[in-house]
Structure 1
Amino acid sequence: MGLLSELKLAVPWGHIATKAWGSLKGHPVLCLHGWLDNANSFDRLIPLLPQDFYYVAMDFGGHGLSSHYAPGVPYYYQNFVNEVRRVSVALKWNRFSLMGHSFGGTVAGMFSSVFPEMVDKLILLDSLPFILDINEVNNVLTYKRQAIEHVLQLEASQKPSMVIGPEEMLQGLLKNNTHVGEECGKLLLQRGTKQVASGLVLNRDRRISWPELGFDYLSRELMQLATQKLQAHVLIIKAAHGLSNVRKDQTDQELLLFSISVLRTVLKERFQFVEIPGNHYIHMNKPQQVAEIVGAFLQGQEVAPAS
């Protein structure tokens, strides 16, 4: 399944860049990448999925080839949920499926609870539908302050973007993200960098740095309420050595188990959970394995645990 087109969807601050695969007549699936990634995150997975769907992967604002927000405008979690709605309006979609990796999964989950009638299937790749962390809730006010100060500091510095050679850029990415292999790192940098005379510069907005500065952490009570709003069938594919396992934080494990328990209790037969070997970028590193599970789910089949 080859790439159909690259699209630029107009928004008040510029455009949201997307890329599309599959059949224009097929049921739409919107794909949301992780924090600091871009739409190329799905280049290996989507061509292996059923061809009778229409897949669109978007770059969040300030990521990939999408426009940066206007000067002085911060990036908050709700902004990204808003972008999903804008894309659905631009594409004239009234009902569609959502697939999100990592941070993209939490955006997809929140959209699905705010606009439940619009989402029929929700696919989460090493992600949960909501950002739930009791420890971090205690730090929310600190994060809000840091987010404001961070933007002010960047505006005051006016430093030009760093120009880096291709190999140094790749090694920097691999050092900062040990779950991304070399080939996948190159794929993300294809869309995440811009060529200049003496090397490469990152496309992404420098105001985006630490995800916690833009997160909205939910209490357990609000998470339960949001889950009750979901009308979608939900699939979680958890990587055995994904982020929740790497951090080895007991509280993280407790919150993961709590989230899964709530989803099972509320959604019943509409919830499926599969754990497979691999790391946080399982959809890029082992796309065939993920594609078999996602493809079956999209086609309404019972998802069996991968061998």
Structure 2
Amino acid sequence: MKQYFLNNKNTKVRVCEWGRKENPTIICLHGLGSTNLSFLELGELLKDKYYIISIDLPGHGRTPAFENDEDYGIPNLIKWISEVIQLVEKNSFYILAHSWGGCIALYYAAQYPEKVKKILLLDGGYHIKQIQYDYFINIDKNQLDFKPNCSLEEEIKSYIADFDGYVFTNWNDFLEVERNNYLRWSKLLEQAAKDLMKEEEDGTIRFCASGDTARGAIKSMYNFPTDGIYPKVETPILLMQATIPASWNEIRTLLVEEFQKRTNSLVKRVEATHLMHWDNPFQIAEEIIEWMK
């Protein structure tokens, strides 16, 4: 594994890579709140077969945030990601994208179809904010094991509280909480989890992505829903759909059926949470090898 910074118009962008450049290239786009090391275990599993490039998106990891919410909007975000990709890969490539990264991947592929061979989405690209809000407004919330967001304002408020409130006095306390957040744990996951955080001068451990960044990204997903470009994406797509928790399955299935119908994509359901590449990296790696050949 190699980590380094690119200079994109005087802005430093942190990139992580695995494998040899002569192998087929996979560009990895992480989800909201994550970093390029979200793909650490997959990178280690696939480095002998692929050249894997994972990018810290704006406001994540060690890449500086955009100044304004509007900059996270799709027009500027796709311009930014295309400039970064041009610095690392001139030829066509595969895209592996999780969650919010899936939205970015679809918009990029619609705009630059000649660049993208295939896309593999890890439970991303199909979540349409307004449809989710309407769904949760109209169901019996007593049957849920979580408090749903029923409006853009609610979701932004929730994310700001989560991101800005994820603070610890030391690394041990942070890691103890993180171990209990996932279905499994490993040394590589510990490394990836620690990359989510930064240590302040007073020793406080704080989430790298801020509430401001979350607000910009969520507004972007709301204002630029991917269902508006489903017919424009000609790139072959494999969507891996999460099935845990079960309380999300009805709305997931409704959204995925529409996605599959309008993109002509292949869908596989995985016994995993939204963070499926942490839950079962070995199965996901096998799916990548099978799809990206």
TM-score higher than 0.5: yes
1:71-113 deviation digits (Å, cap 9, x = unpaired) = x565524244333212112124242111101111121111111
In structure 2, relative to structure 1, the CA distance for the partners of 1:137 and 1:112 (3 Å cut) is: farther
* Residues 291-306 of structure 1 mapped to structure 2, 5 A cutoff: 291-299=285-293
Could you tell me how far apart the structure 2 residues matched to 1:111 and 1:136 are? 26
In structure 2, relative to structure 1, the CA distance for the partners of 1:20 and 1:32 (3 Å cut) is: same
Could you tell me how far apart the structure 2 residues matched to 1:166 and 1:115 are? 42
CA RMSD of aligned residues (A): 3.5
Question: Are positions 1:120 and 2:117 aligned together?
Answer: yes
Contact 1:107 1:129 in 2 (8 A): no
Contact 2:152 2:222 in 1 (8 A): no
Question: Are positions 1:241 and 2:244 aligned together?
Answer: yes
One of 194, 197, 205 as aligned partner of 1:190: 194
Question: Are positions 1:40 and 2:37 aligned together?
Answer: yes
Contact 1:131 1:217 in 2 (8 A): no
Could you tell me how far apart the structure 1 residues matched to 2:134 and 2:220 are? 13
Normalised by the size of structure 2, how large is the TM-score? 0.77
Contact 1:31 1:100 in 2 (8 A): yes
Count of matched residue positions in the alignment of Structure 1 and Structure 2? 271
Question: Are positions 1:255 and 2:266 aligned together?
Answer: no
In structure 2, relative to structure 1, the CA distance for the partners of 1:83 and 1:296 (3 Å cut) is: same
Question: Are positions 1:67 and 2:86 aligned together?
Answer: no
Supply the AA of the counterpart residue of 2:257. Answer: L
SS at match of 2:283: helix
Question: Are positions 1:278 and 2:272 aligned together?
Answer: yes
* Residues 194-273 of structure 1 mapped to structure 2, 5 A cutoff: 194-195=198-199, 196-210=201-215, 211-217=217-223, 223=227, 226-241=229-244, 245-248=246-249, 250-264=250-264, 271-273=265-267
Could you tell me how far apart the structure 1 residues matched to 2:290 and 2:168 are? 44
> How much does 1:295 deviate?
0.7
Could you tell me how far apart the structure 2 residues matched to 1:137 and 1:93 are? 42
> How much does 1:22 deviate?
1.0
Contact 2:127 2:255 in 1 (8 A): no
In structure 2, relative to structure 1, the CA distance for the partners of 1:129 and 1:9 (3 Å cut) is: farther
Structure 2, unaligned stretches of length 5 or more? 138-150
Could you tell me how far apart the structure 1 residues matched to 2:27 and 2:254 are? 30
> How much does 1:60 deviate?
0.6
Structure 1, unaligned stretches of length 5 or more? 152-158, 265-270, 300-307
Structure 1 counterpart of 2:95: 98
Structure 1 counterpart of 2:27: 30
SS at match of 1:237: strand
Structure 2 counterpart of 1:89: 86
SS at match of 1:81: helix
Could you tell me how far apart the structure 2 residues matched to 1:130 and 1:143 are? 13
Supply the AA of the counterpart residue of 1:237. Answer: M
Could you tell me how far apart the structure 1 residues matched to 2:251 and 2:240 are? 20
Structure 2 counterpart of 1:166: 171
Contact 2:69 2:219 in 1 (8 A): no
Normalised by the size of structure 1, how large is the TM-score? 0.74
Structure 2 counterpart of 1:76: 72
SS at match of 2:17: strand
Contact 2:121 2:238 in 1 (8 A): yes
Structure 1 counterpart of 2:142: none
Contact 1:106 1:131 in 2 (8 A): no
Could you tell me how far apart the structure 2 residues matched to 1:256 and 1:77 are? 23
Could you tell me how far apart the structure 2 residues matched to 1:9 and 1:55 are? 16
SS at match of 1:241: coil
